Amino acid sequence: MPHPTIVDSHCHLDFPDFDGERDGIVARAAEAGVTRMVTICTKLRLEPQVRAIAEAHGGIFYAAGTHPMSAAEEPLASVDELVALSKHPKFVGIGETGLDYHYTAESAEVQQASLRIHIEAARQTGLPLIIHARDADDDMARILTEEHATGAYACVMHCFSSSAALAKAALDLGFYLSMSGIAAFPRSKELRDIFAAAPLDRILVETDSPYLAPPPHRGKRNEPAFTAHTARVGAEVFGVEYPEFAARTTENFDRLFAKAAAWEKAA
């Protein structure tokens, strides 16, 4: 009996960890029911190679932006540049962008400037913003809320592992929370409780591969097939059967990443 289909909403298939293995990785994902994935470009100069991966596989889409940890080293993106990239039929999101004060707090100012540029691009394109947030909850909630008051945009808090307060701020703005392998770690009960308090219609699942492999693969290289392990934990968190959780999170993905859903129907 085939596995229920599910989406890996955030992975990094261009990373060298996957060199020479991408076809096998896509095949293993399909066997696990992961028929679609969004591969994320974190430095805009690398966009052509990320785009090529999406173009080579029917079920792979992509997004691009400047990761906050690279914001001080990479040229500042422009709204026009991001809008131009978005014209590609398989370009489905803006980012990842955001704030990371864990490793790169010294570049907070340029990270915030970069974040606001990406938000404006999300507004202009209608594509969802993909947010990375680490140890920056107050500034993140403030900027997302300020900018939303200026003009609405859609957003997912990728690999959400922040506070209940930031979760509430994001949900209050109509945003989505994405569950990664972190939520499946045994010591992550507090995080699972935050997810459990959220509406199921605002939840996505992801791997963030090659990082953060969920049990039983923790400590090893993550890959999109392992989305299913995190999703099984998600089903337990929300008290539903796995096929329902897979179906609901897929519906959520299609609602937020409407361009990917439309491409699927047109293909």
- For residue range 43-78, what is the model confidence (pLDDT) as tens digits? 999 999 999 999 999 999 999 999 999 999 999 999
The dotted CATH code for 6-266 is 3.20.20.140
Rounded mean pLDDT, 134-159: 98
Residue 132 assigned ligand-binding role: yes
* Contact (CB, 8 A) for 70 and 107: no
Q: Is 217 annotated as a binding residue?
A: no
Q: Are 62 and 53 in contact (CB under 8 A)?
A: yes
Cα–Cα separations (whole angstroms), residue 162 to 145, 159, 221? 16, 9, 23
158 carries a ligand binding annotation: yes
Whole-angstrom Cα distance, residue 206 to residue 180?
5
What does the domain layout of the chain look like in residue ranges?
A: 6-266
Was 67 annotated as part of a binding site? Answer: no
Tens digit of each residue's pLDDT (9 = 90 or more) over 151-166: 999 999 999 999 999 9
Q: Which two tokens stand for residue 130?
A: 């993909």
Q: Residue 62 and residue 80: Cα distance in Å, rounded?
A: 18
Q: Residue 13's pLDDT band (boundaries 50, 70, 90)? A: very high
**Amino acid in the structure at residue 36:** R
Global confidence as pTM:
0.97
**57 carries a ligand binding annotation:** no
Q: Which amino acid is at 90?
A: K
- Flag whether 88 is marked binding: no
CA 232 to chain centroid: 18
Rounded Cα–Cα distance for residues 84 and 242 (Å) = 39
